[in-house]
């Protein structure tokens, strides 16, 4: 970005993979003048300071938010309501309040009641991430050529929406607007269900009595390895996603179970045509994703291999 910064003071509440990536991107591209960081755990805050992610650090979210014209909640979705309550008294009139949570209707329900008049609340979700967590996991190109979905409530101030969209575009993302419920349905199938399937298949492999753990590790083919990457994702974050997108996830899980039963029946009765037709149809989806430029056909052998997980 060559012009003036879009915001004077950006406050990031939560400084894990996403908060850290936003801080690094905004700093490198000159999107904000000052970055204030708050997170619950003093050890994580100290690490953020060591990494020089911001200009101001506090475990008190209200102190970080004071005077900010852009506030981004980067905490697990189950923590949004408590944080919103905490910062509500110091949110400045005219400020933009947004989030990055993987679920959206729950954020609307839990945060909106605490947003003071004159503050522009526009929920958001960058569709970009990895299985890593903590401030060390962040990197400044995470949002390049990705989508960021914003779910502006009815009557959202157009100038605020344009400013937040410009911020995400400068972070490298394409911005789409969506209704929060629809967002939750779409993400349930393209993101939440794949993670649950991964947690389940890796759990099943771990529970087997006749195949040892060392055999699972030794002979894991790349398909199983891909599942282990997803199943290594942050437990707090994914617990919160499950609890906060319950309806859509249960709907997708029940459709998934029905389809799995049909596949089970086809295998039992030797219905090769059914299996062949299904596998042909699904191969087409992969081709469409590659044609849309969202994926390469190259195998991804652990692009983010270093485990930088950080507990707090």
Ligand X SMILES: NC(=O)C1=CN([C@@H]2O[C@H](COP(=O)(O)OP(=O)(O)OC[C@H]3O[C@@H](n4cnc5c(N)ncnc54)[C@H](O)[C@@H]3O)[C@@H](O)[C@H]2O)C=CC1
Residue 237 Cβ, how far from ligand ENO at the closest point, in Å?
A: 8
User: Can residue 17 be called a binding residue for ligand X (CB under 6 A)?
Assistant: yes
Phi/psi of residue 129, nearest 5 degrees: 180, -175
Residue carrying structure tokens 């390469």: 296
Find out whether 56 and 36 touch, Cβ atoms under 8 Å. Answer: yes
Q: Could you tell me if 237 and 102 are in contact, meaning their C-beta atoms sit under 8 angstroms apart?
A: yes
Q: Which of residues 128-157 bind ligand X (CB under 6 A)?
A: 129-130, 133-134
Name the one range near ligand ENO by CB under 6 A: 65-73, 123-131, 164-172, 289-297. 123-131
**Considering only residues 206-265, where is the footprint of ligand ENO by CB under 6 A?**
230
CA 193/CA 195 separation, integer angstroms: 5
Secondary structure (DSSP) of 41-60: -HHHHHHHHHTT--SEEES-
> To the nearest whole angstrom, how small is the minimum distance from the Cβ of residue 49 to ligand ENO?
26
Angle at 266 between CA 253 and CA 194, to 5 degrees: 25
Give the interface segment with ligand ENO, choosing from 126-134, 176-184, 242-250, 293-301 (CB under 6 A).
126-134
Angle among Cα 253, 230, 11 to the nearest 5 degrees reads 100
Neighbours of 9 (CB within 10 A): 22
CB atoms within 10 A of CB 115: 17
Locate 176 and state its tokens: 């789409």
Compare residues 100 and 122 and give the one whose CB is closer to ligand X: 100
Q: Residue 32 or 37: which CB sits closer to ligand X?
A: 37
180 binds ligand ENO per the rule CB under 6 A: no
Site pattern 165..204 for ligand X (x: CB under 6 A): ----------------------------------------
Q: Which of 36, 84, 101, 231 binds ligand X (CB under 6 A)?
A: 101
Count other Cβ atoms within 10 Å, centred on residue 201. 16
Degrees (nearest 5) of the Cα angle 229, 20, 51? 110
Does the protein bind ligand ENO through residue 102 (CB under 6 A)? yes
Between CA 100 and CA 229 the distance in angstroms is 21
Residue 91 or 198: the one with the smaller Cβ distance to ligand ENO is 198
For the CB of residue 301, give the shortest distance to ligand X in the complex, in Å: 19
Positions in 35-74 near ligand X (CB under 6 A): 39-41, 44, 74
Cα angle 131, 99, 8 (rounded to 5 degrees) comes to: 115
| Contact partner at residue 82 from ligand X, ligand ENO, none, CB < 5 to 8 Å by partner kind | ligand X
| Whole-number Å distance between alpha carbons of 43 and 58 | 11
The answer to the question of residue 18 lying near ligand X (CB under 6 A) is: yes
| Partner that binds at residue 234, options ligand X, ligand ENO, none, CB closer than 5 to 8 Å by kind | ligand X
Q: How far is the CB of 102 from ligand X (least distance, A)?
A: 3
Is 102 a binder of ligand X (CB under 6 A)? Answer: yes
**Which of 136, 170, 184, 234 touches ligand X (CB under 6 A)?**
234
Q: Residue 16's binding partner, choosing from ligand X, ligand ENO, none, with beta-carbon cut-off 5 to 8 A by kind?
A: ligand X
Is residue 18 within 8 A of residue 126, CB to CB? The reply is yes
d(CA 242, CA 60): 28
List interacting residues with ligand ENO (CB under 6 A).
102, 127-131, 191, 230
Instruction: By CB under 6 A, name the binding residues for ligand X.
Output: 13-19, 39-41, 44, 74-77, 79, 82-83, 100-102, 126, 129-130, 133-134, 234, 237, 241, 312
């Amino acid at each position: 970005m060559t012009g003036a910064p879009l915001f004077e003071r950006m406050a990031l509440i939560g400084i894990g993979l996403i908060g850290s990536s936003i801080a690094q991107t905004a700093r490198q591209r000159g999107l904000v003048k000052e970055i204030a960081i708050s997170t619950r755990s003093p050890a994580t805050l100290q690490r953020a300071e060591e990494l020089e992610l911001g200009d101001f650090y506090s475990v008190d979210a209200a102190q970080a938010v004071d005077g900010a014209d852009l506030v981004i909640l980067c905490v697990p979705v189950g923590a949004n309501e408590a944080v919103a309550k905490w910062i509500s008294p110091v949110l400045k009139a005219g400020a933009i309040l947004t989030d990055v949570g993987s679920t959206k209707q729950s954020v609307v329900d839990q945060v909106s009641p605490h947003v003071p008049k004159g503050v522009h609340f526009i929920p958001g979700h960058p569709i970009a991430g990895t299985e890593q967590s903590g401030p060390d996991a962040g990197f400044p190109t995470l949002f390049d050529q990705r989508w960021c979905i914003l779910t502006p409530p009815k009557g959202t101030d157009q100038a605020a929406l344009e400013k937040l969209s410009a911020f995400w575009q400068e972070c490298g993302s394409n911005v789409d607007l969506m209704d929060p419920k629809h967002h939750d349905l779409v993400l349930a199938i393209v993101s939440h269900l794949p993670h649950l399937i991964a947690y389940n298949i890796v759990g099943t492999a771990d529970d087997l009595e006749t195949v040892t753990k060392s055999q699972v590790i030794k002979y894991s083919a790349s398909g199983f390895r891909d599942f282990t990457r997803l199943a290594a994702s942050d437990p707090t974050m994914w617990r919160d996603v499950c609890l906060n997108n319950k309806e859509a996830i249960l709907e997708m899980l029940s459709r998934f179970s029905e389809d799995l039963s049909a596949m089970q029946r086809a295998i039992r009765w030797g219905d090769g045509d059914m299996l062949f037709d299904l596998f042909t149809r699904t191969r087409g989806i992969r081709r469409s994703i590659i044609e849309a430029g969202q994926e390469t056909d190259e195998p991804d052998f652990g692009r983010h291999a270093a485990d930088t997980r950080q507990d707090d």
